[in-house]
Amino acid sequence: MHADKIHLIKQPCFLAQENGEVEFLHHEVFSRIIDDKQHILKASKFSPAIRQTGYESQLDKNVLLKIVKFLKLSDDMVCYSINLYAQPFRYRTHFNWLRDELLQLTPQQRQRLAFEFMEGPMVTHLDAMRPVLKMLSGLGCKVIVNQAGRTIISSHYIKESSVDYLKLHRSLVRNIESRPENQLYIRSLLGACENTPTQVIAVGVETKKEWQTLLNLGISGGQGRFFAKESDFLPGSGYKIRQTMSSISGRRNRWRK
C-alpha cells in the first residue's frame, strides 16, 4: 500500500458554547484509498479487506507520516484528529513505533494531535490499549473514542481510561428528535461520563432539529453536514485540494492565538 494511494479528507468538529454559538475543536481526518482506476474508495469499501489482510498497521503508519510531515511544515495551531486501528497495539512494536514518532515532534506539535479509536475494537483489546491511551495523554495528545453506542458495550472503560471525548455513532443521532429510545441511550452515556473529564460529541448531525434536541440532552459538541461538509486535506497523487467552508456563522477557532 503506497503512501501516494492514500487520500486524506477532513471534517471540522465543534464544541457548543453557552451563548448558542459553536467553537472549532479539530478537523477529524478520514482515509480514502485511490484504486487502480483512480477512483477514491471510502473506508467502508476497503476496511474489511484491510482487516482481513492485516494491513491495519501499514495504513495507519502511512497516514500518520503524511500528517506529521504536514505538521512540521505548518505554523498554525489547528488540531487534527487521526483515526487509528486498535488491533495492531496487541504488538509492542506498534506501540513503540507510535511513541517514537510522537517523541520526534515538539510539545506544541503534539498538542495539535488527537487520536480516535473505534469503541468496539478498543474495548475488545482494552488490556493492550490502556498503556496506549495513557501514553498519548502523557505526551499531550487528545484521546477520542468514536462510534460509541454502535453496539451494546460496558461503559466502565470511561471511568478507568484517559478519554477526552466520546463521539456517538451516527445511527444514534439520525432523527434523534423523534426517537425517544435513542434519547434515553444518550442520556445513559452522558450519565456514564459524569464526574469524568470526558465530553460527549454527536457525529452525523444534519438538521437543526437534531442539533437542538442533542443540546437539550446535554451534548457537548457536534460534527456533521449541519456544520460543514467533508473536504480534501492531503490528497493522493494527482488530486488537488478543494476547500469547504463551515456553514455555521460565528465560528471561532480555539486553536489560533
**Per-residue pLDDT for 251 more than 80?**
no
Q: Specify the CATH superfamily of domain 3-245.
A: EAL domain (3.20.20.450)
Over its C-alpha atoms, the chain yields an Rg (Å, rounded) of: 18
Share above pLDDT 90 across residues of the chain, in percent, rounded to a whole number: 75
For the entire predicted model, the pTM comes to 0.89
> From its phi and psi, is residue 130 left (phi > 0), alpha (psi between -120 and 50) or beta?
alpha
Q: How far is CA 125 from CA 89, 115, 121, 136, 219, in A?
A: 8, 16, 6, 16, 27
Task: Express each pLDDT in 120-178 by its tens digit.
Answer: 999 999 999 999 999 999 999 999 999 999 887 888 899 888 899 999 999 999 999 99
Count other C-beta atoms under 10 Å from residue 235's C-beta. 18
Segment among 41-45, 97-101, 140-144, 187-191 with least mean pLDDT: 41-45
Segment among 3-17, 71-85, 147-161, 229-243 with least mean pLDDT: 229-243
**Per-residue pLDDT for 1 more than 80?**
no
Domain locations in the chain as residue ranges: 3-245
